Amino acid sequence: MAMPGITATDPSAPLARRRWLALAAPVFGLMIVGLDATILTVALPTLATDLEATTTELQWFTDGYTLPFAGLLLPLGVLGDRIGRRLVLIGGLLLFGVGSAMVMAVDSPDGLIVARVVMGAGAAAITPLALGMVPLMSLPRSGRRRWRSPPAGSPWAFRSVHWPADGC
């Protein structure tokens, strides 16, 4: 895979490839967190019938993920900054995986709620660390201090917000 600005004889070519491969971990982590946050909405009718869940239990299926996610997002981000982003990110991925495995073996609404709490805690570790690692991995060391995000009013921000409404 050719990298922009890097030739085949460039000694930094293996480093560039490793950067792209390392980028796969945070991207994968954010993908599973986003997928899990949205897929439950599609599965709720099936879960209601298969698990014979009440309306309150259906609400807890969603809240069991959202509450630990929201409550642990900041503390786990700080923990990752203090003891190492990689360590906490891997721990979050493992915790999320354990929660996913628990979901496969669930046969009651209470078991699903517990599994969703575990998954929410794992997602809280994945999200801030993955988002914090991406800018550090995508720029060479010399450019890190000069890099700035585009202003909020930039065309990119406007387009990303309005793109779904445009129907394009």
- pLDDT value at position 13? 62
pLDDT in tens, 133-149: 777 776 555 555 555 55
CA–CA distance, 79 with 163 (Å, rounded to integer): 35
- Give me the helices (H) in 51-154, please: 55-83, 85-104, 109-138
Helix (H, G, I), strand (E, B) or coil at 10: coil
**What tens digit of pLDDT does each residue of 11-47 get?**
556 766 777 777 787 888 888 888 887 888 899 999 9
Distance, CA of 33 to CA of 119 (rounded, Å): 9
pLDDT tens digits for range 87-115: 998 999 999 999 999 999 999 999 999 99
**Tell me: the pLDDT tens digits for 70-84?**
999 999 999 998 998
Mean pLDDT of the chain: 79
**CA–CA–CA angle 70, 34, 16 (5° rounding):** 110
